[in-house]
Structure 1
Amino acid sequence: MSKRSASWVMLGACLVGGGAQACSSTMWPADRDLRYDTYPEAPKVWMRQVPGTITIRDCVGPDFQTSLRLDMPDLLPVGDVTYNGRVMPAYEASPDSALLAFSHQQFFGWAGVALRNGEEVPYPADVGSDGGAVFAPQVYVFSRGGRMRTFETRGTLTMTSVEKPAVNIVMPVRLRVEFPATTCPLQDGNETLQEVQMAELSTPGSTAREKVVAIRMNCGIDPPRARMALVDAGDAGNTGSQLTPTADSDAQGVRVQLLRNGREMQFGQSWDFDPGTGGVHDHPFTARYIRLNEPLKPGQIKGEAVLNVDYW
């Protein structure tokens, strides 16, 4: 009987030892996609805040010191903003992004502190009788005044403690804020080149009758930003500069060729359009006849091109 009793005592000791918990931390990242159909026109107006959570457990003992470091490598400082009486450094991802600010605070504990990108900030951990505490890092979104554009930013918030290294943790921070893009109606164009004599296209590769043609874009008061590409309507895989003849074309040995900025087009190749102003914008191209390496036959030659515009 004494032997069985000793066995039970040993089992009880193992259970107590296995149930002890070590000081630790867990986190819920500040990670959010936000979308706005409108936005405040006034500067530094609070729009939204995105929380993260850092929880420490079983850190029984006296309060201890932590250090916080915010690292958002693609953000640049742009002065300060104020929210609920707290002045915080403000940052931008681009000259037309919303403004961002960051803070850190403990639930039911110390007051919040503003976080400055790339700098360490001391912050005391006020643990409860169970050795636990919950912290709430925050990302604040403010208007910049005027139009804002979609952006995304990523980084980290690192919490460390010399006294309690078990709570060290790195929290990802990611925020994407979408705003409606400026879109611009395009005016269809229908241009006719002057008639050309066969003698003007006497050798393969010769060209004639150049004419500037333009597609007009009316953007209103807002500046657009877009990626554009001209494609051959008759052959989406055409990467050259000569338009595929339409079905009602009957001339042979000749094509309509398009140029941009004095160079032969490469259909399907994109370019960026960011004029910085609204209003009317013309996109000029040059059209001309070009002789092919085959016999000429009089008639009509037609081609169609489509300008694709991807706004952002």
Structure 2
Amino acid sequence: MAAAMALQSQQANASCVRLNPGDQDLTASFTMPNVDRPDTRYRVVNVGRISGGFECTAGQTAFNIDAPLAGLTYVRDVQLDSYLYKVYSTGPRSPLIGFSFSVRRAGTTFGGPPIELGVRNRHPGEPLTKTEAMDVDVYMVIFFRGGAMESIPMTDLGTITSSVESDPSQSMQHHVRLEITVPPVTCSLANASHTLDDVLANELAASGSNAKESSFDVTMNCPMDNIDVQLSLADANDPGSSNGQLAPAPGTTAGGVQVQLLRGGQPVQFGQAWSHGWSSKGQQAIPFSARYLRTADPLVPGDVKGEAVLTADYR
């Protein structure tokens, strides 16, 4: 009975004080592959720890952790081993970021439970049989988001504060700054050809008249969702072309007529990019149409050909 009472007294009086001064500078910058592995851990980031930041007496001393990182948005919960992480992002396509808090004997391997942003978290502390120096630190766990991701520029995410529950004056700050470079992924565009039905001269009697409009698709193949694609068109044979009118390509024998290229029922504007939006994974059709357009030149029977170049850019 006496021994049990002595142990209870020892635990009740357990405490921690700052030993080595300084705050944790949790600043990380690295490159991450842009792959489609939703909720898969990429890496753990634990830098800037203050070795032996606290000294704790025998027993078990709890810590409170406040993490008001306002620049991050909660996305979802992710299970990793025995822990359920709440993960956050800086934007709609950024990698996902989870946070953990570690209290361990100085010089030992870090590790600890996840913490949630915007609320007070509690860590029960490490049971000790004697007074020891302790490492107290925050670390980040980086996850693939699923679909294409975008880079995070160097961003000051804010400061997390940990403090001894029984004596909040014994505290440490953990300054969080993060930069992740994510190389863009690209889609492929398939070559496409389209043949208009034959047209009679009387169907193109007047300059500016058009005939035989028909639709076709260009196939784009993307390796994953969420690729932000912008598209633009150019005349392959005349960079000065306008109003969707394609300059006569090699093999043209007709005169007074050109092929006009349209998107959404309107002549395309060469050189002006438009947003395709975020891709879906796999093949998707990019719709166009084409028609004959009479010009002011004399009408000469024959074949008319036009060529355009479709370019995809990525943000």
- Give, in whole Å, the separation in 1 of the partners of 2:53 and 2:286: 66
Which blocks of at least 5 consecutive residues in structure 1 are unaligned?
1-21, 127-131
- Residues 39-83 of structure 1: per-residue CA shift (max 9 Å, x gap): 4xxx754332123325499999x99x8854252635323124234
Residue 48 of structure 1, aligned match among 12, 29, 43: 43
- Give, in whole Å, the separation in 1 of the partners of 2:120 and 2:181: 25
The residue type paired with residue 159 of structure 2 is T
Secondary structure of the structure 2 residue equivalent to 1:290 = strand
The residue type paired with residue 249 of structure 1 is T
Decide whether aligned partners of structure 1 residues 113 and 223 sit closer, same or farther in structure 2, where only a CA change above 3 A counts.
closer
- Give, in whole Å, the separation in 2 of the partners of 1:223 and 1:67: 36
Q: 1:259: Cα distance to partner? A: 1.0
Using the size of structure 1 for normalisation, the TM-score is 0.65
- Give, in whole Å, the separation in 2 of the partners of 1:239 and 1:27: 56
Q: What is aligned with 2:180?
A: 175
1:151 aligns with 2:153: no
Q: What is aligned with 1:12?
A: none
The residue type paired with residue 195 of structure 2 is E
Secondary structure of the structure 1 residue equivalent to 2:298 = coil
Decide whether aligned partners of structure 1 residues 311 and 289 sit closer, same or farther in structure 2, where only a CA change above 3 A counts.
same
Secondary structure of the structure 2 residue equivalent to 1:245 = coil
- Give, in whole Å, the separation in 2 of the partners of 1:214 and 1:250: 26
- Identity across aligned pairs (percent)? 24
Q: Any conservation in 2 of the 1:158–1:170 contact (CA below 8 Å)?
A: yes
Decide whether aligned partners of structure 1 residues 70 and 173 sit closer, same or farther in structure 2, where only a CA change above 3 A counts.
farther
Q: 1:248: Cα distance to partner? A: 4.0
- Residues 203-259 of structure 1: per-residue CA shift (max 9 Å, x gap): 332111212233244669x66844333322123454531112224434443321111
The residue type paired with residue 105 of structure 2 is F
Using the size of structure 2 for normalisation, the TM-score is 0.65
- Residues 130-188 of structure 1: per-residue CA shift (max 9 Å, x gap): xx9865432213456xx5322334551404588489x756431233455x847456143
Q: Any conservation in 1 of the 2:21–2:53 contact (CA below 8 Å)?
A: yes
The residue type paired with residue 28 of structure 2 is A
The residue type paired with residue 50 of structure 1 is V
Q: What is aligned with 2:287?
A: 284
Secondary structure of the structure 2 residue equivalent to 1:200 = helix
1:245 aligns with 2:248: yes
Q: What is aligned with 2:75?
A: 77
Q: What is aligned with 1:257?
A: 260
Secondary structure of the structure 2 residue equivalent to 1:214 = strand
Decide whether aligned partners of structure 1 residues 277 and 32 sit closer, same or farther in structure 2, where only a CA change above 3 A counts.
closer
The residue type paired with residue 32 of structure 1 is F
- Residues 246-293 of structure 1: per-residue CA shift (max 9 Å, x gap): 244344433211111212212232331546463x5433321111123x
Q: Any conservation in 2 of the 1:256–1:289 contact (CA below 8 Å)?
A: yes
The residue type paired with residue 190 of structure 2 is L
- Give, in whole Å, the separation in 1 of the partners of 2:135 and 2:242: 59
1:110-121 equivalent positions in 2, closer than 5 A: 112-121=112-121
Q: Any conservation in 2 of the 1:51–1:137 contact (CA below 8 Å)?
A: yes
Q: Any conservation in 1 of the 2:222–2:279 contact (CA below 8 Å)?
A: no
- Give, in whole Å, the separation in 2 of the partners of 1:72 and 1:237: 49
Residue 105 of structure 1, aligned match among 77, 84, 102: 102
1:1-312 equivalent positions in 2, closer than 5 A: 24-25=22-23, 27-35=25-33, 39=37, 44-55=39-50, 68-71=66-69, 73-83=71-81, 85-91=82-88, 99-105=96-102, 108=105, 112-121=112-121, 136-142=137-143, 148-153=147-152, 154=155, 156-160=157-161, 163=169, 170-177=175-182, 181=185, 183-184=187-188, 186-197=190-201, 199-217=202-220, 225=227, 226-236=229-239, 238=241, 240-268=243-271, 269-272=273-276, 274=278, 276=280, 278=282, 280-292=283-295, 294-298=296-300, 299-310=302-313
Q: Any conservation in 1 of the 2:66–2:120 contact (CA below 8 Å)?
A: yes
Q: 1:195: Cα distance to partner? A: 3.0
The residue type paired with residue 76 of structure 1 is Y
- Give, in whole Å, the separation in 2 of the partners of 1:282 and 1:159: 47
Q: 1:304: Cα distance to partner? A: 0.3
- Give, in whole Å, the separation in 1 of the partners of 2:95 and 2:303: 54
